[in-house]
A and B are shown apart, each in its own frame.
Chain A
Amino acid sequence: MSTGINWAKYSSPQALYPLAGRLIPWFSVAAVALMGVGLYMGFFVAPTDFQQGESYRIIFVHVPAAWMSMFLYVVMAVWAGIGLGLNARPSFMMAQAIAPTGAMFTFLALLTGAMWGKPTWGAWWVWDARLTSELILLFQYAGVMLLRTSIDDVRRADRSSAVFALVGVVNVPIIYFSVQWWNTLHQGASVSMSTGSKMAATMLTAMLLMTLAFWMYSIAIILSRVRCIMAERESLPAWEEKPVTIQKIAEAR
């Protein structure tokens, strides 16, 4: 390979485990730093919205969380597809590791959406197209995770939940458009972001920083979860770094 890195090497858990361990600190630090700057800009630097007042500031968490929830579902489906196609165990482990984080972001998007909706629309919940499809996305994450936990055989659990994740990825856009058409048939368009005032540059910067922060957070947490999954599946991995305590005891003698 021209890059000089043998990527196929990392398709084995033995190689991926230490690589993930080395990468986690970097992504964790980046996540904390970006989140700090992003939240500061969002809450203190960005101007107050002339229509929605201070309550709009929740979007600095809400919009990146909603983006991540959909993006992570696609990433999970891609790993699931790679796993099914190449029969590679780490791909299934990645898919398994992504699901809880994706579900968390979906829940966060719904929660912050409700918190934004109450002062803005006057209701915690409206059957808006985006809200409804986000809710169904949460159901699909739950389905992927529940299917996995219900099957004891690891190989079948991997492959079955991968098939379901792939079916879901076809379904999500159909659900989104069907809900949108259903919504326009039943009620007039609700307040939407696009009709609101144009975004200030600082708002956009804060939002992009938060999105990057969520990316870094996701990578860090997914890599640490994939390490846990590997340790769990191999019960005691032979490639595990030697526990520090044993080395210390040996040196002390």
Chain B
Amino acid sequence: MSRSSMWGAIGGIVRRDLLLAMRRRSDAAMSVFFLVIVVSLFPLGVGPEPAVLRTIGPGVLWVAALLACLLSLARVFTADYVDGTLEQMVLVPQPLAVLVVGKVFAHWVISGLPIVLLSPLLGLQFGLSGESLGVLVMSLLLGTPALSMIGAIGAALVLGVRGSGLLVALLVLPLYVPVLIFGAGAVTSSMAGIGGEANLSLLGACLVLSLFLAPWATGAALRIALE
């Protein structure tokens, strides 16, 4: 398999998925609105005390980002599974794992990137300072692709299974724990003055590991689902 045809396959899938998303913009907007609403509910529940909000801010933002990623997971494969496109993708000469990378990247651009771009605004609501906002953006930039990668395994496993919406949450949320810990930890430690570099490095390690392993597991799960 030549290298150019692999990149061609990834590029083709990304272009197609982005085009489909652009034709239905409300889908992508929904997970962002979900994030904003969930984050705004916390001050209403906990109370408007600035010191408390600043303490829980990183955790709340990260948990909300995690849930927003989770809710958009159904979009990665379901439509292609229903209309039969996925079966054609399995038959393509390029390895399935490569195609999965393309699909997950497109999913991240649609649902992960808006979260990253919006996060400084939400961070301001919780009284995060300038430097912590930068760390927050960095942590989400490293963390949300890992969330999409890991989530794709769950999304592929529950394809066409009854009650798949809840089931994917039960499968994927425990797997998200390390990313959540390092992501929220980076922001918290930068606020405490120790700097978020250590946690950001670990987050990067999570991303690399998930990039390396998750496509294979997702590909295996897709083949099982399509048998």
A residues apposed to B, CB below 8 Å: 84, 136, 139-140, 142-143, 146-147, 150-151, 155-156, 159-160, 163-164, 166-168, 170-171, 174-175, 178-179, 181-182, 185
Contacts and interface: CB of A to CB of B under 8 A. Distances in A.
Contacts of A167: 153, 175, 217
B177 A179 contact: yes
Contacts of B171: 143, 146-147, 164
Interface size class of B (residues with CB under 8 A): 20 to 34
A146 B170 contact: yes
B207 to A, nearest CB: 13
B158 A156 contact: no
A140 B174 contact: yes
A166 B153 CA distance: 11
A186 to B, nearest CB: 8
Given A146-B167, A147-B157, A156-B224, A139 B185 contact: no
A170 B216 CA distance: 13
Nearest to A176: B178
Contacts of A156: 224-225, 227
B173 interface: yes
Given A150-B162, A151-B161, A179-B181, A160 B174 contact: no
Nearest to A183: B181
Interface in B174-227: 174-175, 177-178, 181-182, 185, 188-189, 202, 206, 209, 213, 217, 220-221, 224-225, 227
A159 B224 contact: yes
Contacts of B167: 146-147, 150
B177 A150 contact: no
Contacts of A166: 217
Best-surrounded residue of A143, A170, A179 (most CB of chain B within 10 A): A143
**Which 9 pairs across A and B sit closest by C-beta, in order of nearness?**
A178-B178, A139-B174, A159-B224, A182-B181, A143-B171, A178-B181, A174-B178, A136-B174, A150-B161
Contacts of B170: 139, 142-143, 146
Nearest to B169: A143
B175 A171 contact: yes
A182 B185 contact: yes
Nearest to A152: B162
Given A147-B158, A170-B213, A178-B202, A163 B220 contact: yes
Contacts of B227: 155-156
A33 B193 CA distance: 58
Contacts of B177: 136, 175, 178-179
Nearest to B198: A181
Contacts of A175: 174, 177-178
A166 B221 CA distance: 12
A143 B181 CA distance: 21
A72 B188 CA distance: 36
Contacts of B153: 163-164, 167
Contacts of A170: 213
B163 interface: yes
Nearest to A174: B178
Contact of B163 (A140, A150, A178): A150
Contacts of B209: 174
Contacts of A164: 153, 157, 171
Nearest to B223: A159
Contacts of B213: 170
Contacts of B164: 150
Contacts of B181: 178-179, 181-182
Contacts of B178: 171, 174-175, 178
